[in-house]
Structure 1
Amino acid sequence: MTEYEREPADAAVNGTPLGAAAGTGTGAPASWRVFHATGMAPAGAPPAVPPAPPWREFAGEPLQTAPAADDRAVHRRLGAGGPLHSLRDDDVDTVNAALLLRRPLLVTGPPGVGKSTLAYLVALELGLGRVLQWSIVSRTALRDGLYEYDSIGRAQAIAAWRAGADPASADPSPAGEPASEQPPYLGDFITLGPLGTALLAYERPRVLLIDELDKSDIDLPNDLLHVLENGSYDVPELVRSALPAVNVFTDDPGRRAEILGGHVECREFPLVVITSNGEREFPAAFRRRCLPLEMRPPSRKQLVAIVASHLRRRPEGVEALVDEFERRVLKGGTQSVDQLLNAVHLTTAGGFQADTDGRKLIEMLLRDLAKGR
């Protein structure tokens, strides 16, 4: 019996078998552990996601079309495929608990250890479609993640429409065409952000990556509490309009979604992966709503596997660079795995000479990031 077969097939939540709830997937999971960190896409129908607990059930409308996968983004993050080697068995259990409980994951660890890659690994293995990524900077506000309203663009469009609709206007419609009888459509000027798109009503959870939240303004974690707890938000510009339904743009390229009455509510709460480099502490109220997951630096064997996965081969002499990278980490240096990937790729390029000048390049690529140079 393996690690992920410990639960009986008829495991239940509130007396209901895990695969019995409608709208959670196409097959019934034999266990609450549906994620195994294999790094492989499902061969057939994607595995079912266990139903949410009663206190995390939502009833958003209307139901949206399932998102397509972004194979290019997944390939850049995961390489040729395979497990995320820095994940331990208890880390995998934590991810499964977040899926079951519909709670955000707060992923911490040193830079370059694979924190953000975790979101892509889960989306690939469970067939949850394109990962919605919200990259945080010091100026980021909650509304940036929810939606954007182009008020200036709409005002200009309305002015142009009124000018064209006015028979006395000196600037008639182009080419003498009759002016439109309808003003510019409100939905054409509203675009949902990554968080706003993730909270639309989908049959299966979306995956949302909130990357480097510790770089945010001090208020953003507290501002997120209400939205993450209630799985919903309002778009005031739509609430004030007289339109019962408005079709807006989403964070998915080329996709739109209908919003009823200016209110957005999820059907299945998304898997929210929040990453932090540990540059600051978060409020207790925020941490209480998240499941913590601390990722450790990969071992030497895991580093070799990561290099082989991303380069799609095991270059000759990679062990020497891996040993040097590991020595720097053990000495207390701040190193990122992508530094190792860059160094290996450079040294295996045609004609590269690892002598005087080449050695300087390697030293530059593997420098201690904590020293600021």
Structure 2
Amino acid sequence: MTEFRRFRGTLGYLTNDALEAAVNCALALERPLLVKGEPGTGKTLLAEAIAQTLETELIPWHVKSTTRAQDGLYVYDTVQRLYDSRFGDGDVRDIRRYIKLGPLGRALASERRVILLIDEIDKADLEFPNDLLHELDRMRFRVVETGDEYVAKERPVVIITSNNEKELPDAFLRRCVFHFIDFPDREFMRQIVNVHHPELSRALVDQVLAVFYEIRNMSRLRKRPSTSELIDWIAALRKAGIDEVKLEQALPFLGALLKKEQDLVAYADQLAGGRKYRS
């Protein structure tokens, strides 16, 4: 039986008690951990931090609208086999050469427990979540083309992220441990900034946080700036040698924070109006 190791965050990934409890619950129950939250709150980085804590491999699986659970197990590369048959490159009779394990297949076939990150599951169609958990419950799969069967020796630690763009099936939710990552308050954000930019002066930290949260509180924004965008913005300020910022129309590197044309217009309009909007 795998030794149970508690997750307490890492030097580069700060946590709170609620997040640590959710991760450790998922580890203890050997259930998938479903993590929701707005983009930029560290959902994907959480999987990296867990892999670092458990000292194991992280296998990422970035979901698209066309993703199927079967594709996550393996794909049969018929195009490459046809190419080789035409140009004489290798023995096309050996079908195993053309079987490529997908992220889920690699996780189940691994000799040791790994972290499987299923990123942005809400991008897939409605059947994908239940098909996915069906394969995880079986802990084995068979390659139809060769007859080879893979049986998992260790259940992978499954971290599933969602941006909450689509409702997930109730049957899927019942089988997961759930955690919602709240957007960091100002004091917690200060700690995050200190991790990424430890040499930043306290005065500049105060200024960038004041500007950042004022922008986030503007009511007309369609996409509010996230933690990752704040970190990038600070990096740009430091490279340019800027040691003072304030909320104004000529805010330096505004494009690092606002990524939609409508939001840039809304930002300018609200500053011109001389009001501070609250959501």
- Which TM-score applies when normalising by structure 1? 0.62
Distance in 1 (CA, whole Å) between partners of 2:260 and 2:28 is: 37
Selected match of 1:105 from 6, 29, 33: 33
- Tell me the SS of whatever aligns to 1:116: helix
Larger radius of gyration: 1
Distance in 2 (CA, whole Å) between partners of 1:143 and 1:212 is: 17
Give the equivalent residue in structure 2 for 1:78: none
Q: Identify if the C-alpha distance between structure 1 residues 369 and 208 changes in structure 2 by more than 3 Å, giving closer, same or farther.
A: farther
Give the equivalent residue in structure 2 for 1:146: 73
- Does the 8 Å CA contact 2:40/2:228 hold for their aligned counterparts? yes
Q: Identify if the C-alpha distance between structure 1 residues 186 and 296 changes in structure 2 by more than 3 Å, giving closer, same or farther.
A: same
User: Which 5+ residue runs of structure 2 have no aligned equivalent?
Assistant: 265-279
- Does the 8 Å CA contact 2:142/2:149 hold for their aligned counterparts? yes
- Does the 8 Å CA contact 1:33/1:93 hold for their aligned counterparts? no
- Tell me the SS of whatever aligns to 1:359: coil
Greater shift, 207-216 or 193-202, is seen at 193-202
Q: Aligned partner of 1:359: which letter?
A: A
Q: Aligned partner of 1:107: which letter?
A: V
Instruction: Deviation per CA, 1:211-259: give whole Å up to 9, x if none.
Output: 11111122211221311221222221122xxxxxxxxxxxxxxxxxxxx
Matching of residues 160-175 of structure 1 within 5 Å: 160-161=87-88
Instruction: Deviation per CA, 1:272-303: give whole Å up to 9, x if none.
Output: 11101111110011111111011111122322
Q: Identify if the C-alpha distance between structure 1 residues 371 and 219 changes in structure 2 by more than 3 Å, giving closer, same or farther.
A: farther
TM superposition shift of 1:191? 1.5
- Which TM-score applies when normalising by structure 2? 0.81
- Does the 8 Å CA contact 2:118/2:160 hold for their aligned counterparts? yes
Q: Aligned partner of 2:206: which letter?
A: E
Q: Aligned partner of 1:156: which letter?
A: Y
- Does the 8 Å CA contact 2:120/2:161 hold for their aligned counterparts? yes
Give the equivalent residue in structure 1 for 2:216: 329
Give the equivalent residue in structure 2 for 1:199: 108
Give the equivalent residue in structure 2 for 1:34: 6
Selected match of 2:192 from 278, 291, 306: 306
- Does the 8 Å CA contact 1:158/1:184 hold for their aligned counterparts? no
TM superposition shift of 1:268? 1.3
Distance in 2 (CA, whole Å) between partners of 1:280 and 1:342 is: 28
- Does the 8 Å CA contact 2:7/2:53 hold for their aligned counterparts? yes
- Tell me the SS of whatever aligns to 1:35: coil
TM superposition shift of 1:372? 6.4
- Does the 8 Å CA contact 2:211/2:246 hold for their aligned counterparts? no
- Tell me the SS of whatever aligns to 2:255: helix
Distance in 1 (CA, whole Å) between partners of 2:114 and 2:187 is: 33
Distance in 2 (CA, whole Å) between partners of 1:115 and 1:356 is: 29
Distance in 2 (CA, whole Å) between partners of 1:202 and 1:372 is: 49
Distance in 2 (CA, whole Å) between partners of 1:290 and 1:315 is: 42
- Does the 8 Å CA contact 2:5/2:54 hold for their aligned counterparts? no
TM superposition shift of 1:157? 2.1
Give the equivalent residue in structure 1 for 2:56: 128
The reply to whether residue 220 of structure 1 matches residue 128 of structure 2 is yes
Distance in 2 (CA, whole Å) between partners of 1:276 and 1:371 is: 25
Q: Aligned partner of 2:98: which letter?
A: F
Q: Aligned partner of 1:294: which letter?
A: F
Distance in 2 (CA, whole Å) between partners of 1:319 and 1:211 is: 33
- Does the 8 Å CA contact 2:208/2:245 hold for their aligned counterparts? no
Distance in 2 (CA, whole Å) between partners of 1:147 and 1:228 is: 14
The reply to whether residue 345 of structure 1 matches residue 235 of structure 2 is yes
**Number of equivalences:** 259
TM superposition shift of 1:89? 0.9
Distance in 1 (CA, whole Å) between partners of 2:262 and 2:133 is: 35
The reply to whether residue 235 of structure 1 matches residue 143 of structure 2 is yes
Q: % of aligned pairs identical?
A: 33
Distance in 2 (CA, whole Å) between partners of 1:145 and 1:119 is: 18
Q: Identify if the C-alpha distance between structure 1 residues 271 and 371 changes in structure 2 by more than 3 Å, giving closer, same or farther.
A: farther
Instruction: Deviation per CA, 1:102-146: give whole Å up to 9, x if none.
Output: 1101100111000111101111011113x1111112122223322
Distance in 1 (CA, whole Å) between partners of 2:184 and 2:99 is: 43
Q: Aligned partner of 1:349: which letter?
A: K
Distance in 1 (CA, whole Å) between partners of 2:262 and 2:174 is: 34
Q: Identify if the C-alpha distance between structure 1 residues 359 and 347 changes in structure 2 by more than 3 Å, giving closer, same or farther.
A: farther
Q: Identify if the C-alpha distance between structure 1 residues 357 and 328 changes in structure 2 by more than 3 Å, giving closer, same or farther.
A: closer
Q: Aligned partner of 2:166: which letter?
A: R
Q: CA RMSD in A?
A: 2.9
Distance in 1 (CA, whole Å) between partners of 2:98 and 2:154 is: 27
Q: Identify if the C-alpha distance between structure 1 residues 137 and 183 changes in structure 2 by more than 3 Å, giving closer, same or farther.
A: closer
The reply to whether residue 366 of structure 1 matches residue 263 of structure 2 is no
Matching of residues 50-61 of structure 1 within 5 Å: none
